[in-house]
Amino acid sequence: MERLRTLRAPLTWRIATVNELQPETTHATTLVLDVPDWPGHLAGQHVDVRLTAEDGYQAERSYSIASPPEDSHLALTVENIADGEVSPYLTGVLRAGDELELRGPIGGYFTWEVADGGPLLLLGGGSGLVPLMAMLRHRDDARSVEATVLVSARTWDDVLYRNELAKVVENDVTVHYTLTREQPPGWTGWAGRVNEEMLRASGAEPSRQLRVYICGPTGFVEHVADLLVQLGHNPHDIKTERFGPTGG
């Protein structure tokens, strides 16, 4: 019932104020925002951000929430798409103290709460790691929930939250990496697209009754979901969120 109540929210545009900007990688920045009267959110939800030009032209994009429900600030991690309309502004022009129009939280399907339990298998491609990070952060105190993360990125420098991922390992989270384009010298992680062997090594046996979340570009999500179905997973037990080509 609590969840139903949370989900019956009319959607209104709010004015958020940028509290802080945290560079994550050369292409991604986390916006830490103060949002007056924020109704609260679930890990995995997103917001719509709207920019309005002086001539009235508006551009709208969706960004996953990176912060857990417990945080007092709302954090969004935005990947800069060079020819995009919105992300270059958010990652390059926006400064602390600036205001930003957003609405949310949005979505109820791709969400996870501690009460939902585990074991969790989180599979993130590129910036698809963002909502999964909110889930991991939300899990922080619930070590009883077993969690495995498989991070797929082009290069080591493209991996979001690297320092924090190194720390969650101490919190009983298993983290695997695969780098698809380039691996640093002495790399001991995986290389190339996610394959069946990586999924098996991440504990993806259908008999474990996992809670599976896949997020990333459409091609990544469908490739990984197809592999899991081939391994014997029920498609209905796999939650997916696809980022399209119109990011930016």
Residues that bind other proteins (CB under 8 A): 1, 4-5, 7-11, 46, 48, 60, 62, 83, 103-104, 106-110, 217-219, 222, 235-236, 239-246
Q: Given the complex with other proteins, which of 95 and 236 has the nearer CB atom?
A: 236
DSSP of 98-167, one letter per residue?
Answer: -EEEEEEEE-SSS-B-GGG---EEEEEEGGGHHHHHHHHHHHTT-TTS-EEEEEEESSGGG-TTHHHHHH
Q: How far apart are CA 236 and CA 122, in angstroms?
A: 16
Q: Given the complex with other proteins, which of 84 and 118 has the nearer CB atom?
A: 84
Token readout for 38 is 């924020």
Q: Given the complex with other proteins, which of 21 and 101 has the nearer CB atom?
A: 101
Q: How far apart are CA 228 and CA 110, in angstroms?
A: 17
The dihedral formed by the CA atoms of 104, 113, 221 and 11, expressed in degrees to the nearest 10: -10
Token readout for 213 is 């979340």
Q: Given the complex with other proteins, which of 48 and 113 has the nearer CB atom?
A: 48
Residues 6+ apart with CB under 8 A from 66: 30, 75, 76, 77, 130, 131, 133, 134, 137
- Phi and psi, residue 54, nearest 5°: -60, -30
Q: How far apart are CA 161 and CA 240, in angstroms?
A: 21
Smallest distance from other proteins to CB 246, Å: 8
Smallest distance from other proteins to CB 23, Å: 25
Q: Hey, is 176 helix, strand or coil? A: strand
Q: Given the complex with other proteins, which of 83 and 197 has the nearer CB atom?
A: 83
Smallest distance from other proteins to CB 242, Å: 4
Smallest distance from other proteins to CB 240, Å: 6
Q: Given the complex with other proteins, which of 162 and 239 has the nearer CB atom?
A: 239
